[in-house]
Amino acid sequence: MAELMYWEAIRRAHDEEMARDPLVICMGEDIGVAGGTYKATKGLFDKYGPERVIDTPISENGFTGLGIGASFLGVRPVIEIMSVNFAWLAMDQIFNTAAKVRYMSGGQLTAPIVVRSPGGTAHQLGAQHSARMEKVFMGIAGLRVVTPSTPKQAYGLLKSAIRCEDPVFINEHELMYNLKGEVPDQEFFHPLEGSEVVREGRDVTLFGYNISVHWALQAAEVLSKQHGIEAEVVDLYTLSPLDRAGIAASVSKTHRAIIVEEAEPAVGVGSEVMAIINEECFFELDAAPLRVSAVNVPIPYNRQLEKAALPAVKDVVDAVLSQVAK
């Protein structure tokens, strides 16, 4: 098993799928000659040429729509949107066309595109380059949303997403492209639906996704070593559809739930997971579920303010302690 960085895992998935199927293409800003802002398509332009590795103009709605149109005829476009903030510009085509065309055509057409984009806050990129948009995507019928927390998931989710008949949005993270992790040498396809218990525990469940899985794991270590509390950590790699059974199973075991999310709390992953807990296993709870979320502000530039706007490992630990005390 090789250790790959997150970007290398994504690059490998692209490469394998493009080698297999001449209808797989990738497109986006600076992904070709320049190899991609996060190197996710490095070297592919030389290998597959400009017809299949397409440097697009800075026209997010336009090139996303173009990819969707091509997908109607069987082309499998992997569209990189350089920053999720720019995906707002492509929302018309993603929501109004890709997510709805199968339904409104009575099943005649489908848009099997993959849109990959880094979300999350990085370091001092300011309000317009720090959006966390997963909450927006996950509320749309007809669109699958996944979010890898490890290189293995980044590889396997992209592989499955390219093959899947549905449009899939993959929410990556600006700060995770250099994260290292083991990826099996053999080809594999990660499920697009489900969740994974990444740390077993008995006292409380910490739900995370993408970068917040790592925060939850760090908090679980602190809780175990310093407080004797064994937290279970569940990785919600699928944000749409959320894994109702997986969420209920863990809460039914630990009887306490905290959702750790990098985004603002309103109408988000946390509020949705709480609703599922209410619907599926309310009477299993020993305490009210909590959310550890960002503060509801546009992300500020100042380093100290930026840090204050985002949840930290300590916030997760404190939330667990306050919940256990009740």
Q: List residues near other proteins by CB under 8 A.
A: 22-23, 25, 51, 54, 56-57, 59, 61-75, 92-93, 96-97, 101-110, 141-142, 144, 156, 160-161, 163-166, 184, 186, 188-193
Q: How far is the CB of 234 from other proteins (least distance, A)?
A: 18
- Partnered with residue 298 across adjacent β-strands are none
Place of tokens 């998935």: 13
What distance in Å separates the CA atoms of residue 86 and residue 286, rounded to the nearest whole number? 42
Does residue 190 carry a catalytic annotation?
no
Residue with tokens 């083991």: 182
Query: Can you tell me the distance from the alpha carbon of 58 to that of 289, in angstroms, rounded to the nearest whole number?
Result: 43
Neighbours of 279 (CB within 10 A): 11
In whole angstroms, give the CA distance from residue 314 to residue 229: 15
Closest CA to 191 of 133, 241, 262: 241
HSE, CB side, 13 Å, CA atoms: give it for residue 242: 24
Identify residue 2 by its one-letter amino acid code.
Answer: A
Choice among 129, 193, 230, 255 that is catalytic:
129
Closest contact distance (angstroms) between CB of 264 and other proteins is: 28
Tokens found for residue 234 = 């569940």
Least separation in angstroms between CB 98 and other proteins: 10
Of 126 and 142, CB closest to other proteins: 142
* Closest approach of other proteins to the CB of residue 71, in Å: 7
Nearer to other proteins, 22 or 298 (CB): 22
- The Cα–Cα gap between 25 and 27 comes to 7
Q: Is 129 one of the catalytic residues?
A: yes
| CB closer to other proteins, 105 vs 322 | 105
To the nearest whole angstrom, how small is the minimum distance from the Cβ of residue 172 to other proteins? 18
Of 106, 99, 101, whose CA–CA distance to 167 is shortest?
99
Residue 70 or 222 having the CB closest to other proteins: 70
Catalytic residue among 17, 29, 60, 134: 60
Contact, 239 vs 171, CB < 8 A?
A: yes
- Which CB atom, from 37 or from 56, has the smaller least distance to other proteins? 56
Query: Which residues are known to be catalytic?
Result: 60, 129
